[in-house]
Structure 1
């Protein structure tokens, strides 16, 4: 009997349109002979399921069901394609746990932890993972520019603590650029992170659960036309993504081992894509994305393709793993 799958997409953050694109890609690649797939828009103003003609049906939040042609539709599994809140930060997953519905992401605590950049860094540092030097600020904190520069140096990165897709991130080259960058970051989040600049090769590493085992996908090297891998570089073609990355065998082994260790110490499951900077051959962890982009052009699907895993196989594996 075919399983009913809800592909949740949208969300409450700046990443809503990116999520809608990812969710539709998942919907288009799922085998309709195996699954009854429904797109479910989780938006601030409404939760609705869509049929093939984009007709909307209100989701009953008591049990995450809806009525279609006088028949109640319930789900066997939720495929999480929400970037940002409430899918990537764990909020929706805690709700799904409460009503006993399975989902493709890691558990809600792991999602909440990895969505919080500074908490994630605090955990991985305890396991010997190298990171940038960092300073944390909450909105309203006194800003001491001299202390910031003395600790992290220039240039430095200012980023929202809880945000994705490079929204609100700036690279400050001078003292004068720090305050405007802080204000930009605060527009996305009330907590911010200021990090030292790491001069080296940037790589992105997908680690997933595949057929019951943790699998490190081929590594992608990021070469951006811009000052850093910002929104424009990620989504508007201002970067080159080279897979597999141009690394030595030693560098590749170090990155793979570090990525697998980070996945393990954070108790992850499901999809993940983490960013690293190789400084003098040593990988430095930046952050982890637990709902990475899932379009044909996105990094993790590119890596899976090179590993011989099609989008259809990638998405079906996620569902089958969740249903175990």
Structure 2
């Protein structure tokens, strides 16, 4: 019998547009012989499914069920492809835990924690071979003294970014002190990011992004890394989603020792944060020291055809549909 999969997408933030593109690609790759897939849109106003005929059915939030053509439809699993809130910050995961529906992503606790970049860095700080840039975490109550705190504790240049944002929204690279106040306001005011701001000293080096997942056999699988080279000041929202601004090299040109070291670090991060399913870790390789510096972890990484994870899955020699099936089957097994 086919598994009934709720492909959950949309969301409450500006990342919803990317979520729809990601979920459409996942939907196109899933094996229809094994899975019945129902896209479910989560928006501030409503949760709903639209069938091929354009008929809209509202989700019953009591049990995440649908009524289609008079028949009650319940799901075996939720495949969460929803970037930002409420899919990436643990809110949906907590809801699914409460109603007993398995899902493909990290737990509610891990998801909520990893949306907070500052807290995540604190937990990962002592992992062997991993380095973290010096940083300052500011809260809404720090607004009036924010610039002074940063200038007293950090050296230029630095990155200013919302502590709980995604897709580099609200992020600025500050090279001169005169740019700081505007950058802080931009980060504090970013929509649905918790009004916390993380400022980090800039690390000079090559930038990489690399996926890791737990397969249906329970094994941790590290995917090939992608090196990011952008014509922008840094890998911002435009660089991520406007073609031609960024060169992405998969697999990245890393030595065998660097590849092995990166794999050890990724596995340690995955275990330390109690991750599930697929995650993606972004990091710098500092030029002077050859040290890997942690940037952030993404627990629901983009899945458009040009996104990092699909690139890495293909470089690994795996079909995207088989990869997504592994995530589904692993989630179902872990729930038993």
Q: TM-score category by the smaller chain?
A: over 0.9
**Which sits farther off after the overlay, 89-98 or 140-149?**
140-149
The equivalent residue for 2:147 is 145
TM-aligned CA distance change 1:161 to 1:54, over 3 Å: farther
The equivalent residue for 1:231 is 237
Query: What SS does structure 1 have at the residue aligned with 2:313?
Result: helix
The equivalent residue for 1:311 is 320
Q: How does 1:171-190 map to 2 (within 5 A)?
A: 171-188=173-190, 189=193, 190=195
**Deviation (angstroms), 1:126:** 3.5
Q: Normalising by structure 2, report the TM-score.
A: 0.94
The equivalent residue for 1:132 is 133
Between the aligned partners of 2:54 and 2:34, the Cα distance in structure 1 is 21
Pick from 159, 172, 184 the counterpart of residue 157 of structure 1: 159
Query: What SS does structure 1 have at the residue aligned with 2:278?
Result: coil
Query: What do residues 193-248 of structure 1 show as CA deviations (whole Å, max 9, x unaligned)?
Result: 00000001111110111232101100111101101000111110211111111222
Aligned partners of 2:138 and 2:146 also within 8 Å:
no
Q: How does 1:256-271 map to 2 (within 5 A)?
A: 256-271=263-278
Pick from 288, 300, 305 the counterpart of residue 297 of structure 2: 288
Size of the alignment, in residue pairs?
A: 324
Q: Which runs of 5+ in 2 are unaligned?
A: none
Between the aligned partners of 1:201 and 1:4, the Cα distance in structure 2 is 42
Do structure 1's residue 247 and structure 2's residue 249 form an aligned pair? no
Between the aligned partners of 1:14 and 1:144, the Cα distance in structure 2 is 26
**Deviation (angstroms), 1:55:** 2.2
Query: What do residues 136-160 of structure 1 show as CA deviations (whole Å, max 9, x unaligned)?
Result: 1112313253541342211100000
**Deviation (angstroms), 1:31:** 1.2
The equivalent residue for 1:67 is 67
Q: Which runs of 5+ in 1 are unaligned?
A: none
Aligned partners of 1:251 and 1:282 also within 8 Å:
no
Q: Normalising by structure 1, report the TM-score.
A: 0.97
Query: What SS does structure 1 have at the residue aligned with 2:145?
Result: coil
**Deviation (angstroms), 1:258:** 1.0
Query: What SS does structure 2 have at the residue aligned with 1:288?
Result: strand
Q: CA RMSD in A?
A: 1.2
Moved over 6 A (4+): none
